[in-house]
Each structure stands twice: as C-alpha cells, then as structure tokens.
A and B are shown apart, each in its own frame.
Chain A
Amino acid sequence: MITSDWLHPSLVLIAGTLVLPLLKGRAMQAWMVLLPLAVLGTLWMAQPGEHGQMAFLGMELVTGRVDELAMVFGWVFGTVLLIGAIYALHVNDRVQHVAAFLYGASALGVVFAGDLITLYVFWELMVITSVWLIWRRKTEVSFNAGFRYLVIHAVGGVVLLAGIILFQFETGTTRFEQIDVDGPAFWLILAAFMINAAVPPLHAWLTDAYPEATVTGAVFLSALTTKTAVYTLIRGYPGTEMLVWMGAAMTLYGVTFAMLSNDIRRLLAYHIVSQVGYMVTGVGLGTALALSGSASHAFTHILYKALLFMGAGAVIHMTGRSRLSELGGLYRYMPWTFVLYLIGGVSISAFPLFSGYVSKTMIVEAAAIDQRAVIWLMLVVASAGTFLSTTLKLPYKTWLGGDSGLQPREAPWNMLLAMGIAAALCFLIGIFPGMLYALLPGAVDFNAYTMSVFLKEMQVLLFTGLAFCLLLKYVGGGPKISLDVDWLYRRGGPRLVGAVGSAIITTDRAIRRTTLEHLARLTAHVEKKHGRDGKLAKSWPIGSMALWTAIVLAMLLTVGVYRG
C-alpha cells in the first residue's frame, strides 16, 4: 500500500491509531488532533493515478485510486475526522477513539479502493469498527440497537460479496468502475450499496441505531457510512432510472418520519435519509450537473449534518435528555450551541449564503433541466419539510418554547470549537461555492446565486416558516415513538418465527409422539423376547449409527450393482 509517490491515508490512520492506546491525558488529546491532520497531509501529497497494486487470488488489487471524485470524499472525510476528534477530546474512552479512527480509516479505504475486493474488505471493516460507537454508550438499548445494526450490515456484506463474486465471474474483472452487467450481479451490488445508503425500506438500521450511539460517535456515524455509499453509487450506478424515484421518495419519507420523531437525534437521523435522498436522486439523473450536485451535496451534508449532530449531542451531553417533549427554554444557558446549531439548520435548509444552498439547488436544477416535474415538486416539498423540522421545530422545542426548568451549563470549549469550525466551513462554502466546485470532477457550469433560484428558494422557505407559525399547535410530536420498517425484524419477525416455530414444534411433537408410541410398543415387544436387560434399548446410539451406515451402503450398492 506504499509506493514512493503514494501513502495510503488509511494506512497512516490505522498505524497512528495503534499508538493511541499507549497514550494518556494531554498526549492522547494532542495525538487525536494530529492524526486527522496527518491524514489531510497525505491527501495533500496524493498524486492522481493508481497506486498500491497487489496480486491476490490471481486478481490485481488497486488499493489507491486517486481521482477527483475520490479526493472530494477524501477531503471531507479527513475534515470531519478532525472536527469529530476535537469534539470528542473530553471523552476518556480509548475504545471509542480507536473505533472512530479505524472507522474513518476504513471509510477512506472504501473511497480510494480501485477494485471491488479492496472495497469489500474496507466495507466490512467499516461495520465492525463503527458498531463500537453505538455499543460504547453502554446501555441495554444501545447494545440491542448496535446488534441489529451489525446483523443488517452483515447481511448487506454477504449480499455485496455475492454480487462481487458474480460480477467477477461474468466480467472477469473486479475493477470498480460503472457496474455494467445485467442480471443478479448488478442488483446484488446495488442492493448492498442501497442498504448502506439507507434507502427505504432498507434504512431502518440507521434511524434505529444512530440515536442510541454515543454523543461523539454519532458525529462520525452521521458523516461516514451513508456517504461512502453515496460515493459508491456515484461511481457504480450513475444514470440508473430507478434511483431517481427511490431518491425522491427517500426525501419525502425522511421528512415525514422526522415530523413524527420526538428524540432529537432520531429526527436528525431521518433527515440523513432525506438528504441522502437528494444525492441518490442526483445519481439517478446521471447528468454531469446532477452527479456534481450529488458529490457536492455529500460534501456539504457531511459538514452541516455533523454540526447538527454535535449541537444535539451537546444538549444531550449537558442535560442528559434527548426528547423534545422534555426540553425547552435552553437558549439562556446554551446560547452558543443554539446559534451554532442554527447555522447548521439554515445550511441543511439551503438558505442562501450557507452551504446547503449551493449544492442542493444544483440537484433540483438538474431535475428541472431534465424536465422531471413530479421529481422537482417532490424535492421542493422535501426541502420545505427539512426547514420545518430541523430549523424550526427542533430548535423551537429545544431552545425556545416552554421552559423545561433545566439549567445546564454551556457545552465544553472543545465541543464549541468543533462546532465553530464546522459552522465556519458551512458559511465559507455558502459564500465561496467556487472553492467546492473546484474540487469536483469536471467543470461545473452552475451558479446558485441567480435571481430566479434565489427567489424560489426564499419563497419556499419563508412561507414554510409562515405555515409553521400559523399551524404550530398542529405540529405532531409528544412522548411517543413511531413504528418504522425495523418493526418487521424487532416485532414482526420474532412474532412470525414464534408462530411458525410453535407450529413446527406442535407438528414435530405430534409426529414424535406417534413414532415414539410405535417405537415403545416395538421395544416392549423386543424386550419381552430379549429379557430384562433390553440390549437393543441400551445400544441405541451405536445402533443408529450402524443403521445409517447400512442405509448409505445399501443405497450405493443397489444403484451400483443393478445399474449395469
């Protein structure tokens, strides 16, 4: 993985992480900040091209393919690792830090993988490292949620592996370019990518697990898994018609369920689903503008979603509560968190001057250029819904609204610093979108700051706000949870298994009872003849072994002897 002009950032990160458990206190904190900086440094030095080739099972692995698309994701992953590390500086749990960095390393590995085998290895590594960020919350709920997360991703991994094997078999190569085959290989790989991209109905792992993750872990989780999936979709499935509709449906699904959420991080998690929906739509549209839109939206999304999760995490960290119905009136005590969260909120809602605006409008515009009226309308509804939940409902109920009687202190300095960096980046990208566009593959022929785009966006957002104010008393919420697809495996599956199981057990019992009765009669008969010791009964196991032997032998002999 090392050549003279290439040092794999994952390798740097993994090597650095191995040192982490040896350090303590200040040294560990310094190392945690230095590591992401080192990763950014290696990214800076990376030369375009293919590096780190290895032979494996007669296939050529390319561990480092550096092109613009990979670098976009590399840069933002590196950045969010730095932000997340600063945010987590106060945490004194090495397992979490190690897991977070290894998780980041594997996400980088996926992004730079030039072939599907390397991709698969890092893909699986991502699962087994990230799950610790959920488990280390150390509650029963988080353990169960993490376990469900693990199981679903394990299934996804098997699906991916099956797809890769078929792909290799059909095309004779494992290079990761556009997946250009028909048949099961295409669908299996797509399904695996869609599981990680949280496309409904395969999304429930995300909204089930992320709210139960640790405060600092959720920041990494929100940034990495779904976005690597978006990367693989951009690379492998551009222009797949199905994705346009699934993406648009995702956006609406996410905002609708977010409206129902009472847990602040579950609300944000549903907005990940919704926002990734935009990116998936862009991938499905497949035009140069749409793909640029997806990549840049992934970039901006990582930053503002991390900011939102950090804001919500700071509230949970300081108050120990995560339900909207139990929060309120915090602006007096956590004003900085409030303001920084709001910057994230206006970014995700695509207010002009903030980062979401310059990327989301690109995807919406691409849909318009493609003359897809229904898709366009769906996306606009979703953006109204995004503003409604993340920027109006959540902050209103958390910081304004009724006084909950809580008097927490402001979040610690490192949390605020991390949020500040993220907020500054959101603002910077919103003002100088050219910086982001320069990273994208191909020239970007798009300007978000035209009168028409601006007018439409502002009208939608402000009138959404008006509707919110007028209809405030109808806005859903309350101390409830809402069912989602995860019901299928949390309750439906067990119930089904239980029903089928008890049916099987009953039948089995019946069959066995009758068989045993007959057997008992037979043994009784034999016992009469063989006396009290009942040799047949005693040697039953060996007898059954011999019986099987005889059966197999008889089978083979019959066929063999009477065939000729």
Chain B
Amino acid sequence: MKLARLIEYLISKRSVLAVLLLVSMAALVLVDIILPPAYTRFTWDAIGGFAAFFGFAACAALIFFSRFLGEKLLYRDEDYYDDHE
C-alpha cells in the first residue's frame, strides 16, 4: 500500500501544502491584476482578480443558499417515501 502511505505523508504535511497553495493563489491574483485584460467583453473583464472574488462568493452563496433551501423547504427523513410505496 505505497499509495496509501504517500497520501498519508501528504496529509501530514498539509499545513505546508496549504501555505504553498495560498501563495500560488496570491500569485494568480497578482498576475491577473498586472496583466492587461485580454478582453473587454464584460465590464468585469477589466477588474483584476474578479474571478477570484467571484469564485469565493459563488461558493459561499451556494453553500448557504442550499443549506437554507434544504432546511426550510426540502429536507425530509430518509424513510419519507417508504410508507407509501
């Protein structure tokens, strides 16, 4: 199970990985701000780092919206359909 050990190793180094990832994310935003926009099709094309912000916001929105939807409206017990079928 060498693969399993590799994964275990990676998990143990997860703070290092996280730092690496955050650095590269910062780099991505920086590059996006520095580079001139390739298109001006939408107004937000000109804003550097818009995609980063939007991705974060979209994810947060989805998490909260779906949670709201589920708890207020859609969630049922797993045996909800059982007694009728």
Q: Which residues of A contact B58 (CB under 8 A)?
A: 380-381, 384-385, 460, 464
Specify the chain B residue showing the minimal Cβ separation from A455: B32
Establish whether residues B81 and A490, one from each chain, have CB atoms under 8 Å apart when the complex forms.
Answer: yes
Q: Which residues of B contact A459 (CB under 8 A)?
A: 25, 28-29, 32, 49, 51-52, 55
Establish whether residues A455 and B60, one from each chain, have CB atoms under 8 Å apart when the complex forms.
Answer: no
- Closest CB-CB distance, A10 to chain B, in whole Å? 35
**In the complex, chain B residues 39-82 whose Cβ is within 8 Å of any chain A Cβ:** 39, 41-42, 49, 51-56, 58-67, 69-71, 73-78, 80-81
Could you say which interface size class chain B belongs to? 35 or more
Q: Which residues of A contact B71 (CB under 8 A)?
A: 476
Specify the chain A residue showing the minimal Cβ separation from B2: A335
- Closest CB-CB distance, B62 to chain A, in whole Å? 5
Establish whether residues B66 and A260, one from each chain, have CB atoms under 8 Å apart when the complex forms.
Answer: yes
A516 interface contact, C-beta 8 A: no
B21 interface contact, C-beta 8 A: yes
Q: Once A and B bind, how many residue pairs between them come within 8 Å at the CB atom?
A: 161
Q: Which residues of A contact B16 (CB under 8 A)?
A: none
Of the candidates A332, A456, A475, the one whose C-beta lies within 8 Å of that of B51 is A456
- Tell me the bound Cα distance from A169 to B18 in angstroms: 64
- Which residue, of A339, A468, A481, A491, has the highest number of chain B Cβ atoms within 10 A? A481
Establish whether residues A467 and B56, one from each chain, have CB atoms under 8 Å apart when the complex forms.
Answer: yes
Of the candidates B24, B28, B59, B64, the one whose C-beta lies within 8 Å of that of A468 is B59
Specify the chain B residue showing the minimal Cβ separation from A457: B51
Q: Mark A469-498, 1 if CB is under 8 A from B, else 0.
A: 001001110111111100000110010000
B19 interface contact, C-beta 8 A: no
Establish whether residues B62 and A482, one from each chain, have CB atoms under 8 Å apart when the complex forms.
Answer: no
Query: A462 with B63: in contact, given A380-B54, A482-B76, A494-B84 (CB under 8 Å)?
Result: no
Establish whether residues A385 and B39, one from each chain, have CB atoms under 8 Å apart when the complex forms.
Answer: no
Establish whether residues B66 and A259, one from each chain, have CB atoms under 8 Å apart when the complex forms.
Answer: yes
- Tell me the bound Cα distance from A338 to B8 in angstroms: 13
Establish whether residues B52 and A476, one from each chain, have CB atoms under 8 Å apart when the complex forms.
Answer: no
Specify the chain A residue showing the minimal Cβ separation from B56: A463
Establish whether residues A260 and B69, one from each chain, have CB atoms under 8 Å apart when the complex forms.
Answer: yes
Specify the chain A residue showing the minimal Cβ separation from B21: A462
- Closest CB-CB distance, B5 to chain A, in whole Å? 9
**In the complex, chain B residues 1-39 whose Cβ is within 8 Å of any chain A Cβ:** 1, 3-4, 6-8, 11, 21-22, 24-25, 28-29, 31-32, 35, 37-39
Of the candidates A141, A388, A450, the one whose C-beta lies within 8 Å of that of B59 is A388
Interface of A is mostly: helix
A414 interface contact, C-beta 8 A: no
Establish whether residues B63 and A474, one from each chain, have CB atoms under 8 Å apart when the complex forms.
Answer: yes
- Tell me the bound Cα distance from A335 to B8 in angstroms: 10
A255 interface contact, C-beta 8 A: yes
Q: Which residues of A contact B22 (CB under 8 A)?
A: 466
Q: Which residues of A contact B85 (CB under 8 A)?
A: 140-141, 144, 490
Establish whether residues A376 and B63, one from each chain, have CB atoms under 8 Å apart when the complex forms.
Answer: no
Query: A376 with B65: in contact, given A459-B49, A479-B78, A480-B78 (CB under 8 Å)?
Result: no
Establish whether residues B38 and A450, one from each chain, have CB atoms under 8 Å apart when the complex forms.
Answer: yes
**In the complex, chain A residues 309-341 whose Cβ is within 8 Å of any chain B Cβ:** 331-333, 335-336, 338-339
A371 interface contact, C-beta 8 A: yes
A461 interface contact, C-beta 8 A: yes
Establish whether residues A481 and B78, one from each chain, have CB atoms under 8 Å apart when the complex forms.
Answer: yes
- Which residue, of A336, A384, A450, has the highest number of chain B Cβ atoms within 10 A? A384
- Tell me the bound Cα distance from A545 to B69 in angstroms: 60
- Closest CB-CB distance, A542 to chain B, in whole Å? 44
21 A-B interface contacts by CB (under 8 A)? A256-B65, A259-B62, A335-B3, A369-B41, A371-B42, A380-B54, A381-B61, A384-B58, A384-B62, A385-B59, A388-B63, A452-B39, A456-B32, A459-B25, A460-B58, A462-B52, A467-B56, A468-B63, A476-B71, A481-B75, A481-B81
> A-side interface residues toward B, CB under 8 Å?
140-141, 144, 255-257, 259-260, 331-333, 335-336, 338-339, 368-369, 371, 373, 376-377, 380-381, 384-385, 388, 400, 450-452, 455-468, 471, 474-476, 478-484, 490-491, 494
Q: A140-B85, A455-B31, A475-B67 are in contact. List 5 more A-B contacts (CB 8 A).
A: A256-B62, A256-B66, A368-B39, A456-B32, A474-B67
